[in-house]
Structure 1
């Protein structure tokens, strides 16, 4: 890779300054010194050394290291196999919260060998003055780069078993309006054994998956009936029932009222369903 050394800058409230570029193999050293920014380096090839916080780290291609503000650092290439690296510098009021989700600390600033897919995110530099859209894009790309580090190198305490029941609930809440949605679709999205999901879901919500889907649909139908003048047919379609007669049957079985009676009586869905503020049953 023989790219010219380059840099770019961007400002916004969250990532108030962004600078990045590429350093070809040579014997350039930096430090000892301190910076007032964060700097993430990715080693493309070769080897080098980082000295900081009284510790020495011997680095190789594929590894990354983070420079923290106001921390004395000294880094330099291996004389026999000098490194080539790309870097990005940034600061802003959301940086510390982003880095808190990555397995890296001031006294442990080296990230293990990372996928090569991360390298291109360091190489999206513009030259000279940037247009407003380029400034925004550069900040967004740095943020995306950090989220990829979160994905590949999360803090240990953040790694936990997936909330399968929660995933199923969220999927139902977002897709109840789809008339073709089935329990099999929900199981497929969660991607665990069917009976295991059913057990977890029942323990979490007190309801079956199909029952929760029906409750979401009817709860939202109640909301539409009480807050709009939409026809029963339109309400039916809006909550995932293509057949108005079937919708009315399910509605009456669930609420003891027909949709028309429910509307004329000025009933509230809270009379039948515990809510979480979104017209959805609580889990």
Structure 2
């Protein structure tokens, strides 16, 4: 069945009910959507995998407890079994090309390429592959088995490309996080803002926090505070600097704040630590 209306071009290849959970690979539906401000799709315990490439515009996806905002040039994957809702921006609505799929091969490839936790892929232009997938499903040439065989090859290539892109980005983001860490290590005694960190890697403050926490399990502020407390321990143990001098040297706002942070981290005041050591 194929139908076209003003908002969407859709090709549907329904399976028999008995085959839904046992098939190896099947593209259930594919299409091109010309969204408006009212466009919204919601699924609970989705029975299909959803793959969408954004040609233009922007919108929002709520996937289980995560929220992201795919825009032109992005891909998003909504895995089978997930709860999700996605909707187009009212002022700049999506135009997107997509397909819904099911089958054991999809589950196997997603696991093999470690994409089970991947949902939003930014800036990976697979427009040609998505268009070819839609063209193949649309043509229905050669019978369903030949058609799905060709679609499976295209699907595998899409998964491979996503895997390569995600891993390349992980390496870049890891490098950026270590660059931030190195900058913090060199500026323990300086007044550092998130804007300062962002300028090191040309990222926004929110992106700096996200990248750093993904790599090190803590925010840049938490890391900087830990390093300053470690340095304070060395200064208390090995110098005659007064507590207020150490607080000033390590850029704490005042002696009282420094003492409170030190005690929260070590269980004792700076004076008590110096006496014990």
- TM (normalized to structure 2)? 0.48
Instruction: Say which structure is richer in helix.
Output: 2
* Relative contact order, higher structure (CA 8 A, sep 6+): 1
Q: Report the structure number with the largest CA radius of gyration.
A: 1
- TM (normalized to structure 1)? 0.47
